[in-house]
């Protein structure tokens, strides 16, 4: 009798990540465990998101026939520069305003690290999307922050929400900016199925 295919467990409470997987027709269940999200001094953005994704995956209890998927996303302003700035989720409305002022009229990178964990073996990868913002007035910023939408979003904005009007263009995966590079996840799931 053939064994059942591995079950996917999403180690994230993000409704956006759940919605992306569901829209792609990838069956999954959600199981989370809190992990401290603190960047180490001098840690590069890609290293940071990969470390957190793996930590989130390993924190979740897994059965033998389960694959754990975890992810972490940051926004990077001035990528490639020594003085780059990493934006995570805003602490409050004032912090969201600060982030949006930094993004106004310039490009930034959205970097997501993913980890697929199966029987102790981890597949790690990252996706980077470049997003170009229109210039924003103080009224634009305050009006958007007043909606409450920036509250739990890396960089303080939701591309799939009202902030879509601020996006001039993007280069790369749209779903990465929403919170999960689903095509990359699908490719790595196929790699796991093939034993690689």
- Indicate which residue of 63, 72, 92, 138 is catalytic: 72
Position 92 in a domain = yes
2 within domain boundaries = no
Q: Is there a domain that residue 1 lies in?
A: no
Active site residue 152: no
Residue 106: inside a domain: yes
For residue 116, give its domain range. Answer: 7-193
Tokens of residue 181, six digits: 């590079």
**pLDDT digits over 31-76, tens only?**
999 899 888 988 999 999 999 999 999 999 988 889 999 999 999 9
Read off the CATH number of the domain in which 183 is found.
Answer: 3.90.950.10
pLDDT digits (tens, 9 = 90+) for 95-138: 999 999 999 999 999 999 999 999 889 999 999 999 999 999 99
Element (H, E) at 76: strand 66-77
Residue 156 lies inside a defined structural domain of this protein: yes
Percent of the chain with pLDDT over 90: 82
- pLDDT of 2 reads 44
- How many domains does the structure of the chain reveal? 1
Quickly count: other Cβ atoms within 10 Å of residue 192's Cβ. Answer: 17
Determine, yes or no, domain membership for 52: yes
Q: Phi-psi bin for 36: left (phi > 0), alpha (psi -120 to 50), beta?
A: beta
Token pair in block for residue 87: 């934006």
Per-residue pLDDT tens for 133-146?
999 999 999 999 99
List the structure tokens of 80: 């490639």
Does the residue 23 lie in any domain? yes
| Average pLDDT taken over every residue of the chain | 93
pTM for this entry: 0.91
Bridge partners, residue 9, by sequence: 29, 68
The b/e string for 57-89 (b: 16+ C-beta within 10 A; e otherwise) is bbbbebeeebbbbbbbbbbbbebeeeeeebbbb
In a domain, 170, yes or no: yes
């Amino acid at each position: 009798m053939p064994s059942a295919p591995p079950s996917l467990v999403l180690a994230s409470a993000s409704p956006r990540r759940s919605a992306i997987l569901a829209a792609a027709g990838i069956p999954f269940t959600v199981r989370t465990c809190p992990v401290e999200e603190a960047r180490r001094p001098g840690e590069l953005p890609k290293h940071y998101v990969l470390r957190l994704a793996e930590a989130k995956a390993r924190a979740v209890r897994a059965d033998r026939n389960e694959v754990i998927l975890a992810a972490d996303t940051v926004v990077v302003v001035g990528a490639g520069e020594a003085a780059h700035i990493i934006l995570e989720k805003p602490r409050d409305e004032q912090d969201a305003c600060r982030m949006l002022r930094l993004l106004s009229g310039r490009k930034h990178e959205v970097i997501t690290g993913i980890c697929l964990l199966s029987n102790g073996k981890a597949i790690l990868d990252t996706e980077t999307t470049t997003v170009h913002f229109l210039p924003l007035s103080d009224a634009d910023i305050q009006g958007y922050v007043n909606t409450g939408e920036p509250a739990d979003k890396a960089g303080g904005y939701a591309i799939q929400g009202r902030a879509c009007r601020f996006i001039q263009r993007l280069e790369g995966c749209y779903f990465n900016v929403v919170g999960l590079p689903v095509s990359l996840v699908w490719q790595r799931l196929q790699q796991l199925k093939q034993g690689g």
